[in-house]
Chain A
């Protein structure tokens, strides 16, 4: 498995660059990922989505459905893509340190 180095820490990721363990996440990890997911700077709106995803994940053990994400954060899907150009799964979930979405992608 591959590692990324963030703020002096070695963190394990899979081949798509997702964290293997959500507990190894830090804000620096989100900043680190933001570059490769086409985000110049993480704004308050970005953090709001990231924080929501992490809270939801630790409460329910899964990522929320897209409709739920939009409803609860108040962003439209278009708004989410403006924040995270690679979308809620590859973009937002990755920055939030959630496990890689699986299934018939």
Chain B
């Protein structure tokens, strides 16, 4: 093993209380040459304040069009062990629940063929293996996909369905209004082809939260955001409400006054909710989780269009389906997704997200294609300009 290069700038980041990624990288570098060269190249980047990776890279495994992000150093003479430094995306289990066996297996493979460095997890959700050579990619895939217990598949990349992800869900959270982990797993399996073989104008992401707290930030980071909701009454345990009050909890100030629709009241002994005017924001339930529970008629709201700024500006998802029942085998969900993708694939321009396409062609075209009626819940406010288009059949011709 060559002697580790000096890294004064990075060493500074070993100070302070937060776990240091530099310390972790040094641990990996102790017995891995490419981790060592990665430290060296990173130090160089800190010195000249710029990245030292070349543009792009296209590598992969047989049968798939995505899953591996190719990357090459632009200073390979200095750091030959990161000349290739490809990233392998491994589809995580729903909700990121592992047992040690599953993790040990993938670590063993990665120690053999990779840098030993990982990202747990990528923002989309994948278990990310950071840094390997082209000739190892197929072997890594063959090995992780043939584990006897807990075999793993690649996640998505490219103009395809990216790896869906979901919140902890009913496995650990009493707020979960449907089984997020099951839906996530089911959709991942159902749409394997869309995930592994890019065929669309651009990427498409699904994220699934069990309630409007939206712990996977689906509204901001997925084209299709699922958020659990209910449509009957919030369940109130008045006894438990009084216990909160007796415990000195300021129900009026912290719950009643903060309800966004002002649909609650508390007279000191009984809590009342005008459920018809509740927007299911979760605040009162979050505050008094021992006394309040979501209703029993459960499902999800589906929002579309969340994306980052490029090209048309950042968007958060907006409501398309205010309420859909979410129950196995999830036929309605699957049909809905297929219709949306079909319209997008048919009409989308290269590198146009579905949210941007809706913006370009209009909600009326989109809704007609997916066979849904426009409803008030889809907008924050009606249009403020009069530039309204009529369908030809709506106009009177003489």
Contact = CB atoms under 8 A, between A and B. Distances in A.
Interface of A: 15-16, 18, 38, 62, 65-67, 70, 77-78, 81, 85-90, 100-105
30 contacts: A15-B54, A15-B72, A15-B84, A16-B58, A18-B58, A62-B350, A65-B201, A65-B350, A77-B199, A78-B193, A81-B65, A85-B62, A85-B63, A86-B60, A86-B61, A86-B63, A86-B65, A87-B197, A88-B65, A89-B58, A89-B198, A90-B58, A90-B60, A101-B58, A102-B56, A105-B57, A105-B66, A105-B70, A105-B157, A105-B158
Contacts of A100: 56, 58
Nearest to A85: B62
Contacts of B55: 102
B350 A105 contact: no
Contacts of A89: 58, 65, 158, 198
B27 interface: no
Q: Is the interface of A mostly helix, strand, loop or mixed?
A: loop
B346 interface: yes
Contacts, number: 68
Nearest to A18: B58
Give 10 closest A-B pairs by Cβ, nearest first.
Answer: A87-B65, A66-B199, A85-B62, A16-B58, A102-B56, A105-B158, A15-B72, A77-B199, A38-B62, A90-B58
A100 to B, nearest CB: 5
The residue in B54, B55, B60 that gathers the most chain A C-beta atoms within 10 A of its C-beta is B60
A32 to B, nearest CB: 17
A56 B346 CA distance: 19
B59 interface: yes
Nearest to B67: A105
